[in-house]
Structure 1
Amino acid sequence: MINKLILLFFFTLQIAVAQNLDIIIIVKDFETDLPIDEVTITAIKTKQGFLTNAEGKAILHLTKPSDLEFVHSSYRTYIVKFSTLNKKENVVYLEPVTQQLEEVILTREHPQEILKQLVEKSKSQLTIPINLKIYLREFYKKNDKMVYFNDGLLNFQVLGNVKNVKSDILVEQNRAVGLLDADIDANLLGYDLNNIIENYYQFNYLDEVLTNRAKKNYDFQVKTYLPNDAYLRIRIVPLDEVKGILSEFNVVYDTEKRLIMEITSVVTPSRLDEWKAAFLSSSKVFKLEFRNVFRMEDGIYYLANSKEVIGFEKKYKKQNRRIEVRNHMVVTNFDKKLFEYDSHNIFKDKSLINKKTMVFSNYWDNDSGLLATAEEKAVIDYLSKTDDSD
């Protein structure tokens, strides 16, 4: 008997096929004419979300005509009228902002105190319950060579409250190609999907800069945010004299709503060199890069997309292995109304790694919101052949 989740999927698929308006977008830098990746594109009427790839390209499957908003932390926010998107490939140019023009804002309160207030306000304002329709993909490297790939369309039914966020995961479709070594702990390869939304909605990645000790380890500054005059940016940088694997943070927030709109963090190359020395013989996981983008739409405050890159070195048979995982999540749509589902349909594993492939359509091209580049497609095709041959 076909379960409710499969019926729901085919019903929504039929509606989408009937109503889709396909638009190809290529986003470029106005000054250099180079493509811009990781631009958040939002269809203002339909609330659909998309993300440009490394080629600056996105294919939009709109359910109805809509103007588009383009957001990137290094470029001015830009809105494009739907009526102008009438070419086979529509090139959109964004105006870069110059970081040197930023101004430091003097505040009565310490910037960390402002950040603490923003975190609490943002937690309380995140819309719960909500269904987040998410495209997730992960690339795996071993010793700088791509060895595995998986992706899927998932529904995260976000439940609970500000103090206890929970999520039920329902997988619509998924695929996995490539081979993983049996000696690598599967728990380290990928992200725990059953707490990833909880971590994002609790802003757990900011914990290290919210402690009292953080004031001694980091320099906090509030700065203007050139892409959007309604926002400010809190820049958090580890002090040079403080050693350790510490991240640099940027937190962008809406000054009127007092809500966090973007969080990014990165470990600099110099501190990564410290990591190599410190963890040469261990399998300790660390965060290399992290980004969360949030949006407010008609009173609904939600996660729009995320990226994480983690890496670790593991000694195996007296040889060091460098493992790297790159994870993207794109919220392609959302709804405050949750759909009904049976408990046995809930995905309870930590990762899609071991989930059997289940494909009904070319969702990676039609419904992902994040198009693979030509290079990525070649990698996926190669891994598929490698997988099939064994």
Structure 2
Amino acid sequence: MKKTLTFCLLLISVLSLATTRIVNGVIKDATTLIPIESVSIRVENSNLGAISNSEGKFRLVFSGDFNAIQFSHLNYHVFVQTLKTGENEVEIFLEPKSFQLSEVIVRSKPVKELLSDAMKISKEKLEKSIVLNTYYREFVKVNDEYTSFSDGLLDYNIKRKSGASDLYVNQCRAIKLTDVPSSEREKNRESFYLYDVRDAVREAYNFKIINYILKSKSYDFEIETKTDDKGNSIEIVTILPKEDAEFHLYTGTVVFDGKSKLILEMDIRKSPKHKMYALDVDIVFLRFKVYEEERKASYRIEGEKYILVYNQNKLNAYINFKGDFEDTFEFMSDMVVSDYKEGEFDFDRSKRHKERSLFSAGNHFTEEFWKTNNSILLNEAEEKILSKLN
């Protein structure tokens, strides 16, 4: 009898741990009630996480005996929501941080050197020998019309300091958003993709764009220190392109932790004032001109760990390829880390994804993973783009 009872209790425990729970919600500013974008959402005592979309909405999927969810954003106090039994819809209100006014600080180094130090420390600290379980998506527009969308559950197996990794696609879908017949010209146009899904992690790991800016003499830098009511400080470096520079330069901000000097967020884009100097590249069979470019990334400090949370890329460019097509393209990609595992793992390297775009992997899924796993929820505008498919 005792053995039977013990077995039953063990079975109930295992089933409880295996139960999948889905929590949907929206995050708002407690003062203005405006939705908050890019809030990092994490199941406490686990590596599971998600991020809020441009409407402040999120979905978190997890298994196990967890009931507390942490919400964090640079401009708001960390908030922990303890879920009630059966609760699967939440509305979260984050309190804005009250930052002290910055005082004039005499620094021993120029701002450019401080940013360089933060970049080096961050590159060294980012976790290696790790597998990042991610949700990735990409939109493509041609001549201001959406033409394709793809998303998937991707694993990046990172082994090197540079963030170079092998990419494995677990599930994915590819959707063509136009009814144009697939002529040879259209196939060539569809296959053209300037970003490389295989490098989505490496770009965020090696801070390539920051390094590029630091090597140039065409920028000035300003720094501001903000300290919250708990004494925690962040340093905000503003990148300022010089007015007289005749190049298509970048502008934006990089935020790093005042104590550890680890980069927490970067938001860098092409300077509108220098758009007239857009990069124009003319190779034998290819000519392209970059009009706009944006790169965003956010990182999280978890005790001794330093983890990539989110990476976004946008690019608008004119492309003339072999005379086959001459169009203006807009590429957009988002990647959020939903889980991670540390250590060395044996992957079948013959199954690595070998194409630049995820779209080329086609449709290959066993479930509607965009509904049953952590992902970046579509906002209202994006829902309309895909609604024609239903």
Give me the TM-score of the superposition, normalised by structure 1.
Answer: 0.82
Flag structure 2 segments of 5+ consecutive residues without an equivalent. Answer: 1-13
Alignment-mate amino acid for residue 65 of structure 1 = F
> 2: CA distance between counterparts of 1:130 and 1:286?
36
Give distance in 2, aligned partners of 1:131 and 1:15.
27
Residues 307, 326 of structure 1: 8 Å contact kept: yes
Offset of 1:183 from its aligned partner? 4.5
Q: Which of 295-304 and 62-71 deviates more?
A: 62-71
1:227-376 matches, cutoff 5 A: 229-272=232-275, 274-275=277-278, 282-285=287-290, 288-315=293-320, 321-376=327-382
Q: Aligned partner of 1:293: which letter?
A: S
Report the CA distance shift for 1:143/1:29 in structure 2 as closer, same or farther (over 3 A).
farther
SS at match of 2:359: coil
Q: Deviations over 1:285-341 (max 9, x none)?
A: 465211111122242222111111111013587996321111100000001034322
Question: Bigger CA drift: 317-326 or 254-263?
Answer: 317-326
CA contact (8 A) 2:41 2:69 kept: yes
Aligned to 1:60: 60
Paired residues, number: 363
Question: Identical aligned pairs, as a percentage?
Answer: 25
What's the C-alpha RMSD, in Å, of the aligned pairs?
3.2
What amino acid maps onto 1:348 in structure 2? K
Kept after mapping to 2: 8 A contact 1:105/1:222: no
**Pair member with larger Rg:** 2
Determine helix, strand or coil for the equivalent of 2:123. Answer: helix
Is 2:28–2:93's contact at 8 Å kept on the other side of the alignment? Answer: yes
Secondary structure of 2:164 counterpart = strand
SS at match of 2:289: coil
Shift of 1:151: 0.5
Higher mean displacement: 339-348 or 353-362? 339-348
Residue 174 of structure 2 is aligned with which of 168, 173, 176?
A: 176
Q: Where does structure 1 lack aligned partners over 5 or more consecutive residues?
A: 1-13, 386-390
Residue 102 of structure 1: CA displacement? Answer: 5.4
Q: Alignment partner for residue 210 of structure 1, among 208, 214, 237?
A: 214
Q: Which residue of 2 is the match for residue 194 of structure 1? A: 198
State which drifts further: 291-300 or 63-72: 63-72
Change (3 A) 1:15 1:167: farther
TM-score where L is the length of structure 2: 0.82
Shift of 1:156: 0.4
In structure 2, what is the Cα distance between the partners aligned to 1:40 and 1:196? 19
Inter-partner Cα distance in structure 2 for 1:269 and 1:207: 21
Cα deviation per residue 1:31-87 (whole Å; 9 max; x = unaligned)? 3322222222222322212111222110111334253333335x3232123247975
**Per-residue CA distance 1:223-261 (angstroms, 9 max, x = gap):** 124679332111111122323211113111122222111
CA 300–82 in structure 1, closer or farther in 2 if over 3 Å, else same: same
Judged with a 3 Å threshold, the aligned counterparts in structure 2 of structure 1 residues 256 and 176 are, in CA distance, closer, same or farther, namely: same
| Preserved CA contact (<8 Å) 1:223 1:232 | yes
SS at match of 2:330: strand
Question: C-alpha offsets along residues 174-218 of structure 1, whole Å, 9 cap, x if unaligned?
Answer: 01011583343734x25212333222211111122222x43xx22
